[in-house]
Every structure is written in C-alpha cells, then in structure tokens.
Amino acid sequence: MQTTTNYQLKKPEGTDIVNIEDLNGNFDVIDTQLAGRENLLKNAAAKTSLVDADTMPLSDSAASSGTKKITFANLKKVLKAYFDTLYNKYTHPSYTAKAAGLYKVTVDATGHVSATAAVAKADITALGIPASNTTYAAMKAATSSAAGAAGLVPAPAAGAQAKFLRGDGTWQTPTNTTYSTATTSAAGLMSAADKTKLDGIATGANKYTLPTASASTLGGIKIGSGLSIASGVVSTVKSTKTTATLSAASWSGTAAPYTYSVTVSGHANTKDLVELIAGDSITAAQLETLQAANIAKAEWTANTMLKLYAYGKKPTVNVPIGLVIRKDI
C-alpha cells in the first residue's frame, strides 16, 4: 500500500483490501491539518510595525479564490494608486522667505500670500496716524482763583502710596477724621451699648402695657355681652326680630312637650336669648291656640336652628309668631 508524500495518507492499490480504519485514519489526518491551518492566523503573535518585506495572505478572486500572498510594499503601492484617483495631490506654491518685520501682503484667489511689501511711513500716516510723536504737557494745578488743566500727573515719591493727588497738583495724606459717640443733643457714631439695646428690640415691638381700668385708674376694659366696638366706639348691641309661621303639620311628638324646629337665617350665636311673641297678623283663634300650646322653652340646636317646646296642647292650626333675638342682656 502506498502513502502520500506530505501527510502519509494511505492509498490502497488495486489488489489491496480496503480497510475502513485506513479511511478513517486518513480523514483524521486531514481534519487535524485543516484545523491547524485555521488556527494558524488566529493564534499568531501580533506585529504593530510593518516593513516592506512583510507578507499577508489573500484570496485571489481572479484565480478561483485561491490563496496567495502580497508584500506590504506592494499593498502600499496598490492603496496609493487607488487614493490618488480620489483626492487631488496638493502642491504648496513656492514663496520667498522674508525676515521679521511689518509688511503689506497680497492674497490670491486660493488664499495664498502671493506678494509682500514692507510698510512705509506714508502707509501709516495715510491711516490718520500722526507723523510725529504726540507729547503731553504736565498737569496744571488749580488755585483759589484759576482752574487747572489736564495733563500728566506728577510722579509720587517712594513711600507715598497711601497719599492722594490734590487739585493743587501735590500728593497729600488724607485727613484723619474721627467722630464722637452720638448724644441726645449731637450727631455721632452709635455706641456699643446703644447698638446692644437696639438689637434687643423686636421688629414692631411695643413695650407699653395698657393697665386695667379701675375707679381711680384710666385703662382698658373688656367688651362684655350686649356691647360692641367699632372704630374705637363702644355701642349697645341691638336685639333683632325675625318672623316665622308654626305649621300645624310640623310639630313632633305624641305627648307634651311637643317640639318644633325653626330656621333663623343669618344667626351665628347659640348663646343668644330668644323671646317668642305673637305675630303681627295673628288672629284671635291663632292667639288662643298659641296660648294653649304653652311654649315655655326654646334652645339652639345649631347657629341657625331653634327648637321650641310646647307643654300644653299641640297646635292644630298654623300660628304666625315673632322671635326677638335678645342682644341687650
């Protein structure tokens, strides 16, 4: 039995008996060699600085995608030829070197400086700049009878950094002005004691306490019931009157005392006393019914609800009444 030159694969001859193990062994060798080639590039060491002699594998599409290699030098040539077709090769125009100085320049349409010329004095004066140096006179001091004039100020001497320039053109030390503590008769600075006292006064504070009035002392009093105060004036609170009709059908209870709830609109004090009187339009029969009912008690169940109690006969007719809300007792 013969074998291949490179990988020693077994090749049965015409008279050899074909052994399955020989075929499997051949496939194992092929599988190992293919896996090694696949991992060859994956496991290769990295190189960051390429040289022209370095080679790289490629798949040649013009040769049935056969594997070939190319050097780094040839790869650069191919890339250069390709990029030269995409971008213009820029060539900087030539120029003449110039020494440092002040120049007038000419710029061409492409933005390059195409010509230079030294700036002359005439170029500067043409801009309105004076041809000669500008000089300034010294400051002219003011007097009691004549105004001064603007100019260069006199230089202060060493050690005069705390002085000021006075209108007479001299450097002077400021006057040391001192102030005394304020008194009740003279303006001045606030003393520490006054400041402490001022800080102790709360905003809007009023230290005055109104004494309680007595037979011998003027003072404050509390406004009791039956009185009101407005704009400093104490007045007697007037009683108010309201009217209602006691409906015969609205009495509650089957035996005395019978109860009846009356709504008193606008009322707001459940401590007010109530006086029940006959209504202005009451008839003799209604008055007789009211007297027979013997309404002897009334109590507030809410600010606007008054409950009446009848200890006599339960009214069988409607009765008009008046309710006096007593504010004077």
* Maximum Cα–Cα distance across the chain: 156
Q: How far is CA 184 from CA 75, 160, 188, 189, in A?
A: 103, 41, 10, 12
Burial class (CB in 10 A: 0-12, 13-18, 19+), 324: middle
Of 63-72, 88-97, 189-198, 277-286, the least confident: 88-97
Work out the percent of the chain whose per-residue pLDDT is above 90.
39
User: What 3-state class would DSSP assign to 11?
Assistant: strand
* Averaged pLDDT of the chain: 87
Q: Is the pLDDT reported for residue 223 higher than 80?
A: no
pLDDT digits (tens, 9 = 90+) for 240-299: 888 999 999 999 999 999 999 999 887 777 788 889 999 999 999 999 999 999 999 999
Are the beta carbons of 312 and 280 closer than 8 angstroms? no
User: What 3-state class would DSSP assign to 253?
Assistant: coil
pTM for the whole thing?
0.33
**77-108 burial code (b ≥16 CB/10 A, e <16):** eeeeeeeeeeeeeeeeeeeeeeeeeeeeeeee
Tell the residue number behind the tokens 């109530």, with chain if given.
274
H or E, element range at 278: strand 273-278
Q: What is the pLDDT of residue 32?
A: 83
pLDDT digits (tens, 9 = 90+) for 96-151: 888 898 999 999 888 888 889 999 988 888 888 888 888 889 999 999 999 999 99
Q: What is the pLDDT of residue 238?
A: 73
Q: Is the pLDDT reported for residue 94 higher than 70?
A: yes
CA angle 25, 30, 33 (to 5 degrees): 125
pLDDT digits (tens, 9 = 90+) for 32-60: 877 776 676 677 788 889 999 998 888 88
| Amino acid sitting at position 196 | T
Are the beta carbons of 292 and 313 closer than 8 angstroms? yes
- Residue 263: DSSP 8-state: E
The pLDDT confidence band at residue 328, using thresholds 50, 70 and 90, is low
* 3-state percent breakdown (helix, strand, coil) of the chain, nearest 5: 20, 25, 55
- Give the list of residues 6+ apart from residue 113 with CB closer than 8 angstroms, or none: 95, 105, 106, 107
Of 132-146, 174-188, 215-229, 313-327, the least confident: 215-229
Q: What is the pLDDT of residue 41?
A: 67
- Give the list of residues 6+ apart from residue 227 with CB closer than 8 angstroms, or none: 234, 235, 236, 237
The pLDDT confidence band at residue 224, using thresholds 50, 70 and 90, is low
